[in-house]
Structure 1
Amino acid sequence: MKKFFLFPLFAAFFSFGSAAFAQTVDTNSPDGMVKTVTGQVIDAIRADKSIQSGDISQITRLVNEKILPYMDFRRTTQLAMGRNWRAATPDQQTQIIEQFKMLLIRTYSGALAQVRDQQIQYKPFRANPDDTDVVVRSIVMNNGQPIELDYRLYKTPQGWRVYDINVLGAWLIQAYQQQFNEQIQQHGIDGLVQFLTQRNQQLAASKSS
Structure 2
Amino acid sequence: MIARRALLIGATALSAVALTGPLVRSASAAADPAEFIRQLGDEALAQLVGSDITKAERAERFRKLLVANFDVPAIGKTVLGRYWKTATPEEQQDYQKLFEDFLVGNYAQRFGQYAGEKFTTAGVRDEGEGLHTVMTLIARPNGQTARLDWLMRDDGDSYKILDLKIEGISMSETHRSEFASVIQNNGGKVASLIDALRKKTAQMNAG
TM-score by length of 1: 0.81
Compared CA separation, residues 151 and 84, structure 1 to 2 (3 A): same
Give yes or no for contact 1:40–1:66 (8 Å, CA) kept in 2.
no
| Separation (CA, whole Å) in 2 of partners of 1:50 and 1:92 | 38
Compared CA separation, residues 85 and 72, structure 1 to 2 (3 A): same
| Separation (CA, whole Å) in 1 of partners of 2:171 and 2:200 | 18
| 1:103-126: CA deviation from partner (whole Å, max 9, x where unpaired) | 232223332113253111210224
What runs of 5+ residues in structure 2 fail to find an aligned partner?
Answer: none
- 1:120 correspondence with 2:122: no
Compared CA separation, residues 63 and 21, structure 1 to 2 (3 A): closer
Number of the residue aligned with 1:35: 38
Number of the residue aligned with 1:91: 90
Q: What are the within-5 Å matches in structure 2 for residues 1-209 of structure 1?
A: 2-3=3-4, 4-9=6-11, 11-13=12-14, 15-16=15-16, 21=21, 25=27, 26=29, 29-46=32-49, 49-51=51-53, 55-127=54-126, 131-143=129-141, 144-157=143-156, 159-187=158-186, 188-205=189-206, 207=207
Compared CA separation, residues 202 and 66, structure 1 to 2 (3 A): closer
Count of matched residue pairs: 199
Secondary structure at 1:35 match in 2: helix
Secondary structure at 2:137 match in 1: strand
What runs of 5+ residues in structure 1 fail to find an aligned partner?
Answer: none
| Separation (CA, whole Å) in 2 of partners of 1:194 and 1:140 | 36
Q: CA deviation at 1:40?
A: 2.0
| Separation (CA, whole Å) in 2 of partners of 1:142 and 1:127 | 28
Give yes or no for contact 1:72–1:162 (8 Å, CA) kept in 2.
yes
Q: Which amino acid aligns with 1:138?
A: T
Q: Which amino acid aligns with 2:191?
A: D
Q: Which amino acid aligns with 2:34?
A: D
Compared CA separation, residues 202 and 131, structure 1 to 2 (3 A): same
Q: CA deviation at 1:20?
A: 8.4
